[in-house]
Structure 1
Amino acid sequence: MHVVLREARDTLVPDMDGPHGPLPPVLLALTVVSGLVDAFSFLLLGHVFVANMTGNVVIMGFALAGAPGFSTAASTVALVSFAAGALAGGITMHLGRAHRGRRLLHALLVQSAFVTAALVVTLLSGGPYTGGARFTLVVLLGLGLGVQNASVRALGVPDLTTTVLTRTLTGAVADSLLARGPGSRAGRRVLSAAAMLAGAFVGAVTALHVHPALPLLCALAVLTGAAVAIGVLSRGDALWTRPDPGK
């Protein structure tokens, strides 16, 4: 247990001189964002995900089978928007290859712009979100989360994908000493799942019981905090800012 707690501590309070510097807690914050926006989209936009594309593929299968309450069109729009956002995020990250901190900062600013636009649409259109407003929100949030996923992929921090938890949780068990593996890094992996759970919980509570726009406002606040932190911490040339920090 002490190993798990040490791994969790090292993720939340990382070695700033290490190969990933402040990136682990920032990526945990982005995992919370994923939970927030997926809670908003699934609960208020008609059973569609904007961060979890595996879920959208499954939902599309339900819709094609005629299951009530699911939309092939909404899932398709989310998938296409996410892919377009991933393309934009990939371009953003690859153009700034020389400095990981600046690459992430640029991606966070682009993602924040999409979430801000979605927040404005939410406030102006009012619920329930149907028709053009619904699809506009799916597009904007899908674009934003595509950018996020592309940037996280380019950074390559182990076990912190910000959206895909199946592989993370599998590794926590399959790589454990109990399974005769090399070590599960369970502390970091459990934190990742907990961050997603926390974001989904807060998103659901605020969307259903406070105000439908509040999950997006919370997501924007987290993104702003992450952007400010990375902007301040990436001014130097520490090891973690290099394209290949392990070398």
Structure 2
Amino acid sequence: MAEVLPVGRRWAVGALLVMTFATGLVDAVSILRLGHVFVANMTGNVVFLGFSVVRSDRMPVLAPIVAMTAFVLGAFLGGQLSRLLRDRPRRWLGCAFAGQAAGLAVTATLLGTGALRPEGRVTLAVIALLGACSGLQNATVRLLGARDLTTTVLTQTITGLTAESALGAGTGAPPHRRIGSVLAMFLGAASGALLLQVTLAGVVALAAALVAAVAWVFAGAPRPADAAVRGAGPPGAAA
């Protein structure tokens, strides 16, 4: 599936790498402070639920269900936005990522003011907010169709980096994007783990600021030099 990039390729790649870094920050929050639950990677939650069938006394049950439900709702919203704005991809991406940034900012504000605390049942509200933001992000990036830049799940990225490399099948594109994605996620997770020693709300706020910057890029960065947006709108799936 061909990429549909409404801005210059370098702008788009840079923005999506920033988004990947922000995902690392959010992953650090969910794994280290919200009870070992995933808000961006649903594979982990399905596995946790499978474990809970046998080890119900030790494995989380409600938190993964809340995360998955919120994620699905966020992904549904992302799909609806793409349908409504498919003929105006700059506005579509700008609105989608701005909405995600707003959700993260609200979460950071609630955490910073003490209205929400990652303790007891209240933790589920934080998980739901972050899960919905992650679902919106995943749906939008998938429909954008940017090659090797999923921003959340790196399994296929690492597989392609090795299996399609010159030492493997030798059929892959240059590895720069894939290496960049892995490094961005690693650095985001490491930075989140470090900053969590000081502030929880600050980590979420930083993720919100980065996603807001991404929204600005897709809404206002220069268009591709070679052509206007190729195609009428976002494709149905990522490459």
Question: How far apart are 1:43 and its partner, in Å?
Answer: 0.8
Q: Please give the residue correspondences for 1:174-185 in structure 2 after superposition, counting only pairs within 5 Å.
A: 174-185=163-174
Letter of the aligned partner of 1:181 in structure 2?
G
2:37 maps to 48
1:84 maps to 73
Mean alpha-carbon deviation: is it higher for 26-35 or for 176-185? Answer: 176-185
Question: How far apart are 1:55 and its partner, in Å?
Answer: 1.5
Distance in structure 2 (CA, Å) of the matches to 1:94 and 1:193:
30
Letter of the aligned partner of 2:214 in structure 1?
A
- CA deviation map 1:144-176 (0-9, x unaligned): 110001110111010000111011100011111
Helix, strand or coil: the match of 2:36? coil
1:210 maps to 198
Q: Please give the residue correspondences for 1:89-168 in structure 2 after superposition, counting only pairs within 5 Å.
A: 89-125=78-114, 129-168=118-157
Distance in structure 2 (CA, Å) of the matches to 1:241 and 1:59:
41
Question: How far apart are 1:181 and its partner, in Å?
Answer: 2.5
Q: Which has the higher contact order (CA 8 A, sep 6+)?
A: 2
Unpaired segments ≥5 residues, structure 1: 1-15
1:57 maps to 46
Letter of the aligned partner of 1:106 in structure 2?
C
Mean alpha-carbon deviation: is it higher for 135-144 or for 225-234? Answer: 225-234
Percent identity over the alignment? 37
2:215 maps to 227
Query: CA RMSD, aligned part only?
Result: 2.5
Q: Please give the residue correspondences for 1:23-34 in structure 2 after superposition, counting only pairs within 5 Å.
A: 23-34=12-23
Relative to structure 1, the CA distance from residue 241 to residue 57 in structure 2 (aligned partners, 3 Å threshold; closer, same or farther) is same
2:237 maps to none
Distance in structure 2 (CA, Å) of the matches to 1:241 and 1:33:
26
Distance in structure 1 (CA, Å) of the matches to 2:64 and 2:186:
22
Q: How high is the TM-score relative to the length of structure 1?
A: 0.84
The number of residues matched between the two structures is 229
Distance in structure 2 (CA, Å) of the matches to 1:223 and 1:18:
16
Distance in structure 2 (CA, Å) of the matches to 1:47 and 1:240:
44
- Aligned 8 A contact 2:138 2:150 in 1: yes
Mean alpha-carbon deviation: is it higher for 52-61 or for 16-25? Answer: 16-25
Letter of the aligned partner of 2:184 in structure 1?
A
Distance in structure 1 (CA, Å) of the matches to 2:232 and 2:131:
29
Distance in structure 1 (CA, Å) of the matches to 2:15 and 2:185:
13
1:12 maps to none
Distance in structure 1 (CA, Å) of the matches to 2:182 and 2:204:
20
Q: How high is the TM-score relative to the length of structure 2?
A: 0.86
Question: How far apart are 1:230 and its partner, in Å?
Answer: 2.3
- CA deviation map 1:116-159 (0-9, x unaligned): 12112212337861234211111111111100011101110100
Relative to structure 1, the CA distance from residue 99 to residue 239 in structure 2 (aligned partners, 3 Å threshold; closer, same or farther) is farther
